[in-house]
């Protein structure tokens, strides 16, 4: 069998890995040993898994591979942000970004959950991509693993000494429209005997898929970020079509019910600053009214333009006034510094360039199970 047709062990749950071991005649407890090699050591070569017998190594090599998504290009920005352009086995592409903190001693890996996105938010480049499919759990976990490969962070370092310390599900795609695979991947990533990233260091960002929020909170317990971006249904529906399906009232109620949110673990409200659309002090006042009683913090994102985008970023003066108003009322509201814009790695700029335009949007979406009445694909 060729390498690409053999089963990849990455992305399987512990139970599934144990079942695979049983299927090749190994004792299920061997899965624990293997898990350690895969996710703590980051080893991809069975022959180097020295605590595993030669016989079992050979058997593993006969049936399986340990594979990351293929890195087609790796780019590092002048500000040290790093981006990987990935190519999956079916030719589809997505992107992963590492954003170091200011002191560059730690930082967040920004992971994609889909190729493209069905949601077509007007200000977002990803939403203009024709081709959409869900990423598998292997492709999601694989993104973090290849970032660790790139920085040589194997075996899993102690939490306090990691460069790749945090994860944000803020890349391409809507994670709650691919919940099953995202949840499976995050459970692998959070496992303490492997990659070992705590749920407190993981933030999942959603455009507001209300019916999935409670389940995500209960099952994963990760930090929640909401792409809010507007304070009235009118404006929000204009720039984010999902608001027609799940309007602000429902979204805010789901935030109030989000398990695990507290003053120590606040919900982040992301707010992209669009000139003349959502950036007045009246908007800021309404924003505070909306989140009243919620453990909230804000992240103001200066709009990042992309070729063909129809908005302008608010002036720095207006963004500062907006931020000051919110902070004067007792909330944290930093202005997000744009990182990696020279390599098109900033928020909302991710989009695979070499997509196959010919592909029928509807067929792709139906096949991936992600077309619905709210996101009808245009006639191909």
Q: Which residue number, 192 or 276, has a Cβ lying nearer to ligand SAH?
A: 276
If one asks whether residue 124 binds ligand SAH (CB under 6 A), the answer comes out as yes
- Tell me if 170 sits within 8 A of 225, measured CB to CB: yes
Give which of ligand SF4, ligand SAH, none residue 304 binds (C-beta under 5 to 8 Å, depending on kind).
ligand SAH
- Residue 175-214 contact track with ligand SF4, rule CB under 6 A, x = bound: --------------------------------x-------
Burial class of 222 by CB neighbour count within 10 A (0 to 12, 13 to 18, 19+): buried
If one asks whether residue 170 binds ligand SAH (CB under 6 A), the answer comes out as yes
Give which of ligand SF4, ligand SAH, none residue 31 binds (C-beta under 5 to 8 Å, depending on kind).
none
Q: Which residue number, 241 or 348, has a Cβ lying nearer to ligand SAH?
A: 348
Give which of ligand SF4, ligand SAH, none residue 270 binds (C-beta under 5 to 8 Å, depending on kind).
ligand SAH
If one asks whether residue 113 binds ligand SF4 (CB under 6 A), the answer comes out as no
If one asks whether residue 94 binds ligand SF4 (CB under 6 A), the answer comes out as no
What CA–CA distances, in Å, run from 177 to 115, 208, 212, 232, 240? 12, 10, 8, 24, 15
Which residues within the stretch 144-173 sit at the binding site for ligand SF4 (CB under 6 A)? 173
The 10 Å CB-count burial string (b at 16+, else e) for 99-108 is bbeeeeebbb
- Residue 355-374 contact track with ligand SAH, rule CB under 6 A, x = bound: --------------------
Q: Are strands 93-100 and 107-110 parallel, antiparallel or unpaired?
A: antiparallel
Give which of ligand SF4, ligand SAH, none residue 170 binds (C-beta under 5 to 8 Å, depending on kind).
ligand SAH
Rounded to whole angstroms, the Cα distance separating 293 from 240 reads: 25
* Residue 20: partners with Cβ closer than 8 Å, 6 or more residues away: 7, 9, 12, 31, 63, 64
* Residue 1: partners with Cβ closer than 8 Å, 6 or more residues away: none
If one asks whether residue 230 binds ligand SF4 (CB under 6 A), the answer comes out as no
**Catalytic residue selected from 124, 255, 313, 347:** 347
Whether residue 180 lies in the annotated active site: no
Among 167, 272, 277, 319, binds ligand SAH (CB under 6 A): 272
Dihedral-angle region of residue 24 (phi above 0 means left; psi in -120 to 50 means alpha; beta otherwise): alpha
Q: What is the dihedral of CA 57, 61, 66, 69, to 10 degrees?
A: 160
- Please provide residue 320's backbone torsions phi and psi, each rounded to the nearest 5 degrees: -65, -40
Q: Which residue number, 163 or 169, has a Cβ lying nearer to ligand SAH?
A: 169
**Catalytic residue selected from 95, 139, 174, 270:** 95
Whether residue 95 lies in the annotated active site: yes
Among 8, 126, 166, 178, binds ligand SF4 (CB under 6 A): 126
Q: Which residue number, 9 or 261, has a Cβ lying nearer to ligand SAH?
A: 261
- Please provide residue 134's backbone torsions phi and psi, each rounded to the nearest 5 degrees: -70, 145
Binding stretches for ligand SAH (CB under 6 A): 117, 121, 123-124, 170, 174, 205-207, 227, 270, 272, 301, 303-304, 347-348
By annotation, the residues acting in catalysis are 95, 347
């Amino acid at each position: 069998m060729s390498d690409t047709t053999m089963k990849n062990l990455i992305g399987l749950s512990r139970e599934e890995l144990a079942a695979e071991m049983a299927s090749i005649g190994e004792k299920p407890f061997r899965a624990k040993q293997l898990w350690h090699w895969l996710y703590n050591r980051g080893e991809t070569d069975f022959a180097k898994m020295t605590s595993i017998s030669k016989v079992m190594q050979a058997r593993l090599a006969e049936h399986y591979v340990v594979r990351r998504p293929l890195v087609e290009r790796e780019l590092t920005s002048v500000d040290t942000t790093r981006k990987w352009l990935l190519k999956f086995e079916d030719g589809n592409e997505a992107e992963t970004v590492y954003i170091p903190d200011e002191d560059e001693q730690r930082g967040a890996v920004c992971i994609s959950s889909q190729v493209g996105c069905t949601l077509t938010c007007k200000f977002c480049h990803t939403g203009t991509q024709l081709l959409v499919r869900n990423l598998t759990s292997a492709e999601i976990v694989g993104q973090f693993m290849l970032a660790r490969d790139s920085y040589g962070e194997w075996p899993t370092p102690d939490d306090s000494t990691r460069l790749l310390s945090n994860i944000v599900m803020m890349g391409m795609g809507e994670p709650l429209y691919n919940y099953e695979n995202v949840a499976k991947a995050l459970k692998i990533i959070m496992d303490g005997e492997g990659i070992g990233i705590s749920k407190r260091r993981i933030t999942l960002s959603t455009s507001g898929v209300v019916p999935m929020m409670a389940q995500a909170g209960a099952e994963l317990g990760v930090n929640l970020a909401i792409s809010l971006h507007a304070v009235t249904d009118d404006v929000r529906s204009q720039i984010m079509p999902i608001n027609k399906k799940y309007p602000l009232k429902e979204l805010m109620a789901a935030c109030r019910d989000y398990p695990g949110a507290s003053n120590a673990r606040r919900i982040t409200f992301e707010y992209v600053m669009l000139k003349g659309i959502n950036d007045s002090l009246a908007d800021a006042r309404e924003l505070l009214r909306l989140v009243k009683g919620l453990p909230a913090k804000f992240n103001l994102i200066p709009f990042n333009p992309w070729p063909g985008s129809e908005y302008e970023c608010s002036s720095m003066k207006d963004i500062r006034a907006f931020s000051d108003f919110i902070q004067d009322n007792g909330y944290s509201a930093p202005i997000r510094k744009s990182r990696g814009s020279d390599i098109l790695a900033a928020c909302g700029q991710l989009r695979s360039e070499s997509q196959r335009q010919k592909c029928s949007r509807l067929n792709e979406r139906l096949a991936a199970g992600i077309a619905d009445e709210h996101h009808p694909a245009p006639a191909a």
